[in-house]
Amino acid sequence: MEKSTAQTGVTQASFWTVGRGAFALALLAAALFPVISGSTFHFHIAIMICLAIIATMGLGVIARVGQLSLCHGAFVGVGAYTSMLMVMRLDLPFMAGVVAAVVVTSLVAALIGGPLLRLRGVYFVLITFALNELFRLVMLEFPGLSGGSSGIANIPAASFGSLVLDEKATFYPLALISAVLVVALVALVDRSMIGRRFSAVEENITLAESTGIATARTQNLAFIIGSGIAGFAGALMAHYIGFLSPETFHFELSVSYIIMLVVGGRLALWGPVVGALILTPLPEFLRGAMEFQHVFYGVALIVILSFLPNGLVSLPERLARLGGRK
Amino acid sequence: MSFLIIQSLVNGVILGLLYLLMAIGFTLVFGIMRVVNFAHGEFYMLGAFAAYFAFAVAGLPYPVAVAGAFGGAIVLGAIIERVVFRPFRGDELSGMIASIGLALILQNLALIAFGPDPLSMPSLVSGAYNWGGIILPKSRVVVILGSMVILAIFYYFLMHTRTGRALRALVQDREIAAAYGVRVELMYPLGLALGAALAAMAGAFMAPLFGVSPFVGGTPLLKAFIVVILGGLGSIPGAVIASMLLGLIESTTSTFFGASTADIVVFALVIAVLLVRPSGLLGHKEA
C-alpha cells in the first residue's frame, strides 16, 4: 500500500515538472503571440487579457482570506476615475495618476474594510453587491466627477515623459510588464508570513483566531492589497480605452472577474492567469454569437465548480492522480 | 401636498406587495437550501414570457396563463435543483456562484429564443379608479388582488399543511427537522420549485405592466435582494416588513426627490442595516 502511494508520488512529481515547464512555455508563447503576428486585433486581446489578469489577481488575494467580493469591479472603477481625474483635471503625469489610483483604492478599502469584513460568507457577498450598485448610482448622480451617463471620453494615453503609448503595440509591453509584476507581487505575498496567515484564516478562521492571529487585521490587509491591485488595473484601463462611464463598472464586471477566478482556480497563484487567458478572448472570437458565449460562461462555471472545485489549474494534478490510480 | 403623500403611500403599498411576491420565494430558497439564488430574477422573466405566450399569443384566459407559469416553474425548479444545486449542498458560496452561472444560462437562452426587443402585452383591464384625487389604475388593482390571493394561498400552505410545516421546521433547524422525520431529500427540490413558481407568477402578473424581455428579471432580483437583506435572509416575517418598508420608502422619496435619489437612499439604508445588524432586521444570527 505504502509502496504504491510512493510510486504515485513519483509519477505526480514528474508530471508536475513536465506540466510546469509546458505551462511556462505556453505562457511565453501566448505573451509573444501578438508580437509575432503583428495584428492590432491580437495586441488588443492580449492587452485585455493582461488587464483582466491584474484585476482578477486582486480578487484572488481577497479570496485567500475566504471572502468573495462582488464589488471588485467598483474598485477597478475607483482606480480608473482617480487616475483620469488626476491626469485630466490636475494635469499630472500618467505615473502620478497610477500611483494615486492605487493609493486611493487602498485607502477606500482600508476605510470600509473594518465594518465590512465583520460580515462573512454570503453576507459579505450581499453587502459588496449593494456597494457595487451604490458606486454606480452615486457616479451617475455626480456628472461633474464622472461625466454622468454619457461618460468621459478622450482620456490621455499612458505616457512616460515624451514616450507616449498611444498605440496598441506600444501599450502592450506596459500591460504585460504590469501583469507580470502583479503576479510576482502576489507570489511574494503568498510565500511571506502574511501569506501563511492568509491561508490560516481561509482554512479555519476560528482556529486562526485562537492561535493568536489577528484575523480582522489579516482580512483587512488582504482586502486592502486586493482592492489596491484592482485600482491599478482600473488606472491602466482608463488610459488604454480612453473612455469611462459608470455603466462600465456595472456589477456584471465584478461577476466576470469572479467567473475568471473560479474557472482558473480560486486559491491558486496561476488561477487568475489561466482564467483570464481562456475567458477574455472568447467574446472576441464569438462576436457573432454573444449569447452563446454567455451560456458557455454559465455552463463552464457550474461544470468547473462541480468537477474541478480548485479550477482549471488543478487539472494536471487531477489527471496525474487518475493516471496514478490506474 | 397631502394628496401627494396619500398617493405615494398607496403606491408604496402596491410596490411592497410586488416586492413581497419576489422576496418570499427568494428567502424561502435561502432558508431551505442555504442558496442565495442569483437566478431568481430569471424565473420571473420566464414567468413573464409564459404569460405573454399563453395570453397574448395563444389567447388563453389570464388565470390559465398564470397557472401555466406556475406549473412550468414547479417542474423547471425541481429539475434545476437536481442538476445545478445538488452538488453544492452545504457549501453556500459555491451554490451562490453556481446560481450566477444559471442566471447567465437562462437569460441568454431566452435572448437566443426570443430576441432582445421588449414585447408589450395588452393590458387586462383599462381605466382607473379615482377616489377624490387619489388615482388607482384598474390594471394595478387586478395585480394587487392577484398577489394577495397567491400570498394568502401560500400562507395557508405554509402554516396549515403538513408539507408547509415540514418546510418551516427545516428553515428553523435542519438537523432536528431531519431527526423528526422531515424528508430533506424531497424538501430541497420542493423549496426551489416553490420559490421559482412564486417568482414566475410575479412575472406573469407584472408582464402587462412592465413588458416582457430577456432582461426584465434584473430589477425584481435587485428588489428581492434588498428586501431580504433588510428583513433577514430566510425570514418570512422579515420579508413582509421589509417589502412594505422598501415600497413606502421608494415611492415617497421618488415622489419628493426623484427616482435616482430613491435608489441611493435605499442602498445606503441597506448598507447601514447590514453594518448594524449583519443578519438583517429579523434574521437568525449566523455563526
Per-residue cell: A165:
503609448
| Cβ neighbours for A119, distance < 8 A, ≥ 6 positions apart | A126, A127, B274, B278
> Which pLDDT belongs to residue B85?
92
Closest CA to A301 of A270, A273, A266, A250: A266
Nearest Cα of chain B lies from the Cα of A17 at a distance, in angstroms, of 31
SS3 for B206-236 is: HHHHHCECCCCCHHHHHHHHHHHHHHCCCCH
Distance from CA of B91 to the nearest CA of A (A): 10
State the Cα–Cα distance between residues A69 and A59, nearest whole angstrom. 7
How many CB atoms sit inside 10 A of residue A277's CB? 22
Q: C-alpha angle A257/A263/A266, rounded to 5°?
A: 75
Q: Does B263 touch chain A (CB under 8 A)?
A: yes
Check B112 against A123: CB less than 8 A apart.
no
B101 touches chain A (CB under 8 A): yes
Set of cell numbers at residue B83: 442538476
Report mean pLDDT in 10-residue bins for chain A, 326 residues: 45 62 81 83 92 96 92 96 93 94 96 86 84 88 81 86 85 94 94 89 86 87 96 96 90 91 91 91 72 84 89 83 66
Q: Tell me if A61 sits within 8 A of A226, measured CB to CB.
A: yes
Q: Do B97 and A133 touch (CB under 8 A)?
A: no
Which residues in chain A belong to E strands, given as ranges? 158-160, 163-165
Taking contacts as CB-CB distances below 8 angstroms, the residues of chain A near B85 are none
CA dihedral of residues A235, A236, A242, A244 (deg, nearest 10)? -40
Chain B residues with CB-CB distance to A294 below 8 A = 104-105, 107-108
**pLDDT single digits (tens) A196-238:** 889 888 888 888 888 888 888 999 999 999 999 999 999 999 9
State the pTM of this model.
0.86
CA distance B78 to B22: 18
Q: Which residues of A touch B (CB under 8 A)?
A: 68, 115-116, 118-123, 125-127, 129-131, 133-134, 137-138, 140-141, 255, 258-259, 262, 291-292, 294-295, 297-302, 305-306, 309
pLDDT at B38 (0 to 100): 93
DSSP class of A90: S
> CA A107 to CA B114: how far, in whole Å?
46
**A255: chain B residues, CB-CB within 8 Å:** 100
- Compare all CA atoms of chain A with the CA of B35 and give the residue at the minimum distance: A122
Q: Is B108 in CB contact (< 8 Å) with chain A?
A: yes
Q: CA A264, CA A273: separation in Å to the nearest integer?
A: 7
Give the HSE-up count for residue A262: Cα atoms under 13 Å, Cβ half-sphere. Answer: 29
Nearest CA to CA, how far is A290 from chain B (Å)?
9
What letter represents residue A130's amino acid? A
Q: Cβ B274–A130 below 8 Å, yes or no?
A: yes
φ/ψ of residue A83, rounded to 5: -65, -45
Let me know the angle formed at the C-alpha of A97 by A94 and A101, rounded to the nearest 5 degrees. Answer: 145
Q: pLDDT by residue for chain B (287 residues), tens digit each?
A: 577 788 888 888 888 888 898 999 999 999 888 889 999 999 999 999 999 999 888 888 888 988 999 999 999 999 999 999 998 888 888 899 999 999 999 999 999 999 888 888 887 777 888 877 777 788 788 888 888 899 899 989 988 999 999 988 888 888 888 888 888 888 899 999 999 999 999 999 888 888 899 999 888 888 888 888 888 888 888 889 999 999 998 888 888 888 778 888 888 888 788 778 777 777 665 43
The helix (H) or strand (E) run that includes residue A62 is helix A40-63
Chain A contact set for B111 (CB, 8 A): 291
A110 closest CA partner among A225, A5, A229, A20: A225
Contacts of B97 in chain A (CB under 8 A): 68, 258, 262, 301, 305
CB B258 within 8 A of CB B250: no
Pick the residue from chain B with its C-alpha nearest to A254: B100
| Short-list A146, A141, A142, A115, CA closest to A128 | A115
Q: Tell me what pLDDT residue A80 has.
A: 95
The CA-atom distances, in angstroms, between A302 and each of A100, A305, B25 are: 38, 5, 22
Q: How many residues would you count in chain A?
A: 326
Q: Fill in the amino acid letter for A29.
A: A
Which three-class secondary structure state does DSSP give residue A162?
A: coil
Closest chain B CA to residue A127: B271
Size of chain B in residues = 287
Report d(CA A91, CA A87) in Å as an integer. Answer: 5
The ipTM value here is 0.84
Q: How far does B65 lie from chain A, in Å, by closest CA?
A: 28
Alpha-carbon distance B251 to nearest alpha carbon in chain A (angstroms): 18
Of B111, B263, B275, the CB nearest to A291: B111
**Which of A72, A261, A295 would best serve as a mutation to test chain B binding (most B beta carbons within 10 A)?**
A295
Q: Which residues of A touch B268 (CB under 8 A)?
A: 134
Cell 437566443 -> residue: B112
The x, y and z cell numbers of residue A275, run together, are 482564467
Q: What is d(CA B11, CA A99) in angstroms, rounded to the nearest whole number?
A: 49
> What local confidence, expressed as pLDDT, does residue A172 receive?
93
Out of A129, A262, A306, name the one closest to residue B225 (CB): A129
Nearest by CB: A294 against B98, B108, B274: B108
Q: Is A315 exposed, middle or buried (0-12, 13-18, 19+ CB in 10 A)?
A: middle
Neighbours of B41 (CB within 10 A): 28
Distance CA B122, CA B209 (A): 9
Contact B103 A298 (CB under 8 A): yes
Q: Would an 8 Å CB–CB cutoff place B79 in contact with chain A?
A: no
